[in-house]
Amino acid sequence: MIKPRLSSLIILSFLIADAAFSQWPAPKAPVIPEADGYVVIPNAAIPPRKDHVYKAIFDGTRFAAHPTELVPAINDVGAELNALSVAGVPEENAKFVVVFRGSAVDGILDDTHYRAKFGVTNPNLKVLSELKKAGVELFVCGQNLAFEKIDPKSLAPEVVVASDSFIVLMEYHNRGYALLSF
């Protein structure tokens, strides 16, 4: 059994720890405001480096939990652009690619087709445009479109139809891009 004095000290230490964590600064999202922001972590292991070139291909396979939310891959690539920007990494040191397949393809439908399917405006379209302006390459799996009988004209214009998502993934992996799956 814990003595009353010891249990009070334990509770107090939890309250102090909780108060310390509540002092985190607000996340910053300077590049893609709709995506998750970034909090600088003092003395963190492996912080972003200004002299490093970050190369990643995001394998976008999932749709959002709700049609009014961003597709996870879109949010996450935006969040990483925000992270690198907040850390002072030059924009040209972020080499990001996204390939959409599976249910994530619904998130790149143009607004007319998205509204017809979900009854709301597509929240991903503005962010896709921002990602493209930030230099992110955006692809969709042509095989997925063919099997699901999706007209490429029903997609956001920023997204390019590729022959096959796995070919894109292998090509960029062979170029030294890290694979991040969402």
CA 182, 70, 132: angle at the middle one, nearest 5? 85
Domain total for the chain? 1
Tell me what percent of the residues of the chain surpass a pLDDT of 70: 88
Considering the entire predicted model, what is its pTM?
0.87
DSSP string, 4-49: HHHHHHHHHHHHHHHHHHTTPPPPB-SS-TTS--B---TT-SS---
Are the CB atoms for 123 and 113 separated by under 8 Å? no
Beta bridge partner(s), residue 95: 55
Mean pLDDT of the 154-173 span: 98
| pLDDT in the model for residue 64 | 98
Domain that holds residue 147: 54-181
Instruction: Confirm whether 27 is domain-assigned.
Output: no
Mean pLDDT of the 19-34 span: 86
Instruction: Confirm whether 159 is domain-assigned.
Output: yes
Q: How confident is the model at residue 118 (pLDDT cuts 50, 70, 90)?
A: very high
pLDDT of residue 171 exceeding 60, the answer is yes
Mean pLDDT of the 142-153 span: 98
CA 103, 105, 107: angle at the middle one, nearest 5? 95
